[in-house]
Structure 1
Amino acid sequence: MTTGTRKREAPTVPGRLPLIGHTPAMLRQRLAFTAKLRSHGDLVRVWLGPLPVHFATTPELVHQVLSGPGEKFRKGLLVDKLRRAFGNGLVSTDGEFHRRQRRMIQPALRQPALERHAAVMTESAADLVDSWRPGQPLRFDRVVQDFTIGVVGRTLFSTDFDPRVSAEIRRHTSTMLRLGVVRALAPGPLALPVNRRFDDAVARVHRVVDDIVAHRRTDRADLLSTLVEARDEHGLPMNARQVRDEVVTLLVAGSETTGVALSWLFHELAANPDVADRVHDEVDEVVGRRPATLADVPELRYTRRVITEVLRKYPLWIMMRRTGADVTLGGVDLPAGADVAFSPHALHHDPLSHPAPERFDPDRWSPDRAARVPRGAYVPFAGGLHHCPGHQFAQYELAIATATIAARWRLVPVPGTPVRPKVVGLIHPDRLPMTAVPRSH
């Protein structure tokens, strides 16, 4: 008599509850939950209600997920739950359609288009620092979120957003992303209480975008015109719904992450005066008191290390994928349709890859030290076929805004108001009140 060899299975993380699985613990503990997954194995199973999700916990496995062929790892559950918001935008599509859209959009996010976008960043940053007064209290997280929405709005539509429109988008985008994550982690009946609020937020963002698109001027060389005029390899344009989906994707993805990063960057400068002094010294040498430009970015070497360290310390909480074919991951055979996840935050705070991960240390990105970081251990923009196409746009905007602000101002925390991380999909500061203090040169 012969017996078959039992296939290896990933271990299930302790604490699974009947029917609801690990969902309550994951939503309650969030960063702590994903941080401890590696102690249970390189690939482990977490149950979201009745749904098993395989979590990759090592850089090697995450690199395999992100860099594998497109037919093996596709967009996953989190994107499914956000598709109501982004439709068939670039962030939520796969396969040949994704490649078609990426090819059509890519020219708008490459040189020389990026040079035009960078000019908008410089002008917007100059307007921002000119608007402050010495000693002015700022709700800095909201200020920079409005700034990044305005930059994307001007590159999309060649015009400033009305402040009320910016506030409407900021408010409902935050709700949309937060509830989208809850919907993904609490599938089925557990998500029903948030669905109506999620749908309402999506509808409001779509109405704002539809109104702007409907009243746009057609004589502008802006990003929206690039989308409307783009043609695929067969000479076919995007339809109106597809244009709307891409606009929403660019507007949300291009503003939310950058605004959060700018918030944390100036929080860290305030908390680390030695780092702030080095940034100010570099900015004084490269930029002086004028607004920073694209030409300055290559010379802002230390400032760019600071940006890289912010993106390490405050990345996305989780990303999800789904197998598009049978794959073997970490010695475990996964069938097509299996949900796979990983935590950029856990990877970025793993002391095996990033010594003393809680310390804000821009010098860990000096060339010699950065070369020792394993592949898959630093993934702020994902990777592979679904590497964020706007990563260069975001990095230019962060560098130009940081240098322009630092040339003129120090942002000082308001005493007695501790800042705590608020974990959605992104990690936001719960509040960030700061006072604008002019620099003396």
Structure 2
Amino acid sequence: MGSILPGNLDLITTLASHCLQRTTESVQQTQVTLRQAIQPLPPGFPPGPDGDVALELAQNPLQCLESLKSRYGGLVGFKLASRPIVLVSSPAFAREVFVNQSSIFIKAGTAFFPGSSLAGNGLLVSDGDIWKRQRRLSNPAFRKAAIQTYAEAMVNITEKMVKNTWRTGGVRDVYADFNELTMKIVASALFGADEGSENLAQVGPAITQAFQFFTRRATSMFIVPEWIPTFDNIQYNSAVTGLNKVVYRLIDERRSQLAGSSGSKKKDLLTRLLQATDDDGSGMDDQSLRDELMTLLVAGQETSAILLTWALLMFALHPHTQELVFQEVSEVLGGQPPRQSDVSKLKSVSQFQIPIPASQPSCTPPSPHLISMI
């Protein structure tokens, strides 16, 4: 008979302990979910629908949210996949949550990334002292000069897409175009990645796969923990592992460049985060850097592509608005490429709102991202 070597025994003990801890956490989370499913909403909860809105949200998210807002106002309470949710759409209520009474609100993850390995403990998820420190260290990366650098990258990359990809006539899947565009912009702003780089080729598909995973998970009545080896989880964890390899490699390379005699000439967000220090002279460790970069990558890429896609659809449905914006852009820019300082001058772009009635089916056409190029 074979024997188990002491080293292997320690490994088995460690794995068993890890699995037991994860199982205990999953059981506790399941118990919380079940309690939330059977318990009514607490007294004083904002008014809202009686039933769970998960199915309605999955079928038509935009119509569901607009309907809740129009029926119940700027503060709506309801259950989403058994979880109690408050939809805040009023600027006044949002200010109470984020500014006036921020100290009494605790950030317990996010609806999309509850305890997720993707977002880690970045600004999107973190809270308390950790959030405050990361926010201080991140400030230099979002000062005026830094924003100007990112804006220049946005303009240059967008001009290349319009010039080399888009043509008048025909039909294009602008959602696919904007996904590629925003990935190039985010990769350039975060990492200084050039078009066609190996890092960019690895990041794009992985982010898409992760978002598809969370979209399916968002409306699930029972969330399977990420560590359980289901087919969906295996694909997702493989995508996160690939992203981690790219991000940690970029962090190591940039640290080496900054430590060298010539330093790094890049002005991307990664360099600015690496150069930032706290009052005691300490900066972010690799894990914190990874979490912040991943958070910005997740928050800035596909969300921007979705917004741009819907903006073009709204212009297509409302030609008068399209003409107003076109005239304003022509007058402000005078045929020159836009600059970051021009944004405040584009009043129609920043202020015009198109109401989307919950009963208006034309706002959700069969192929909302297929736009005719005229």
TM-score under structure 2 normalisation? 0.70
The 8 Å contact of residues 56 and 62 in structure 1, kept in 2 or not, is answered as: no
Deviation by residue 1:387-424 (Cα, 9 ceiling, x = unmatched) = xxxxxxxxxxxxxxxxxxxxxxxxxxxxxxx9847xxx
Instruction: For 2:271 and 2:185, locate their aligned partners in 1 and report how far apart those are by CA, in whole Å.
Output: 16
User: Is the partner of 1:86 in helix, strand or coil?
Assistant: coil
Q: Deviations over 1:327-362 (max 9, x none)?
A: xxxxxxxxxxxxxxxxxxxxxx6xxxxxx6889xxx
Q: In 2, are the aligned partners of 1:148 and 1:255 still within 8 Å (CA)?
A: yes
**Residues in 1 aligned to 2:93 and 2:340: alpha-carbon distance in whole angstroms:** 36
Q: Could you tell me how far apart the structure 2 residues matched to 1:26 and 1:299 are?
A: 36
Following TM superposition, by how much is the alpha carbon of 1:137 offset from its aligned partner in structure 2, in angstroms?
4.7
Instruction: Quote the offset at 1:201 in angstroms.
Output: 3.0
AA in 2 matched with 1:206: N
Checking the alignment, whether the CA contact within 8 Å between 1:78 and 1:181 is kept in structure 2 is no
Task: Work out whether residues 81 and 180 of structure 1, in 8 Å CA contact, stay in contact via their aligned partners in 2.
Answer: no
Name the CA shift for 1:45/1:293 in 2 (closer, same or farther; >3 Å): closer
Q: CA deviation at 1:286?
A: 2.0
Deviation at 1:302, TM superposition (A): 1.8
Would you say 1:96 and 2:126 are equivalent positions?
no
CA 1:208–1:9 in 2, change beyond 3 Å: closer, same or farther? Answer: same
Give the corresponding residue for 2:181: 147
Matched, 1:86 2:119: yes
Question: Is the Cα contact below 8 Å between 1:146 and 1:167 reproduced in 2?
Answer: no
Structure with higher Rg: it is 2
CA-to-partner distance for each residue in 1:110-139, whole Å, 9 max, x for gaps? 212112222222222222222144446532
Q: Give the aligned residue type for 2:319.
A: P
Q: Which of 113, 119, 126 is matched with 2:152 structurally? A: 119
2:101 match: 69
Distance in 1, matches of 2:364 and 2:49, equals 28
C-alpha change, 1:419 and 1:166, in structure 2 (3 Å) is: farther
More helix by share: 2
Counterpart residue number, 2:242: 204
Contact 1:90 1:246 in 2 (8 A): yes
Give the distance between the partners of 1:281 and 1:75, measured in 2 at CA: 43
After superposition, the Cα gap between the structure-2 partners of 1:32 and 1:117, relative to the gap in structure 1 and judged at 3 Å, is closer
What does 1:339-358 align with in structure 2 at a 5 Å threshold?
none
Give me the whole-angstrom Cα distance separating, in 1, the residues matched to 2:204 and 2:318: 29
From 287, 293, 297, the equivalent of 2:339 is 293
Q: Aligned equivalents of 1:58 and 1:273: distance in 2?
A: 27
Asked whether the equivalents of residues 81 and 184 of structure 1 are also in contact (C-alpha less than 8 Å), the reply is no
Q: Return the offset for 1:200.
A: 3.0
Give SS of 2:248's match: helix
Indicate if the aligned counterparts of 1:139 and 1:433 stay in contact, CA closer than 8 A: yes
Alpha-carbon contact 1:43-1:56 (below 8 Å) kept: yes
Q: Which has the higher strand share?
A: 1
Q: TM-score under structure 1 normalisation? A: 0.60
Offset of 1:249 from its aligned partner? Answer: 1.3
Equivalent-residue separation in structure 2 for 1:78 and 1:28 (angstroms): 18
Question: What is the SS of the residue equivalent to 1:203?
Answer: helix
Matching residue's letter, 1:149:
M
Give 2:371's aligned residue. 434
2:297 equivalent to 1:251:
yes
CA distance in 1, matches of 2:295, 2:223: 28
Match of 1:171 in 2: 205
Give the partner amino acid of 1:91: L
Aligned partner of 2:84 in structure 1 is: 53
C-alpha separation in 1, matches of 2:162 and 2:48: 52
For residues 65 and 344 of structure 2, the distance between their equivalents in structure 1, rounded to whole angstroms, comes to: 36
Q: Is the 8 A contact 2:80 2:219 kept in 1?
A: no
- Size of the aligned set, in residue pairs, is 314
CA gap 1:163/1:140 in 2 versus in 1, 3 angstroms = farther
Deviation at 1:435, TM superposition (A): 4.6
Which secondary structure does the structure 2 equivalent of 1:84 belong to? coil
Corresponding residue SS for 1:55: strand
Query: Alignment partner of 1:138: what SS?
Result: strand
Structure 2 CA distance for aligned equivalents of residues 115 and 189 of structure 1: 41
Distance 2:314 2:373 in 1: 15
What's the CA shift string for 1:293-321, capped at 9, x where partnerless? 22322322223234xx37xx7xxxxxxxx
- Segments of 5+ residues of structure 2 without an aligned counterpart are 1-41, 259-263
Q: Does 1:160 align with 2:194?
A: yes
| Superposition deviation, residue 434 in structure 1 | 3.3
How far does the alpha carbon of each residue in 1:233-255 deviate from its partner, in whole angstroms, 9 at most, with x for none?
22111111111111111122122
Cα distance 1:78–1:282, how it changes in 2: closer, same or farther (>3 A)?
A: same
- Greater relative contact order, per chain length (Cα 8 Å cut-off, separation 6+): 1
Q: CA 1:164–1:433 in 2, change beyond 3 Å: closer, same or farther?
A: farther
Shift of 1:104: 0.7
Cross-structure match for 2:318 = 272
Aligned-residue Cα RMSD (Å) equals 3.6
Say whether the 8 Å CA contact 2:316–2:322 is kept in structure 1. yes
Which residue of 2 is the match for residue 228 of structure 1? 274
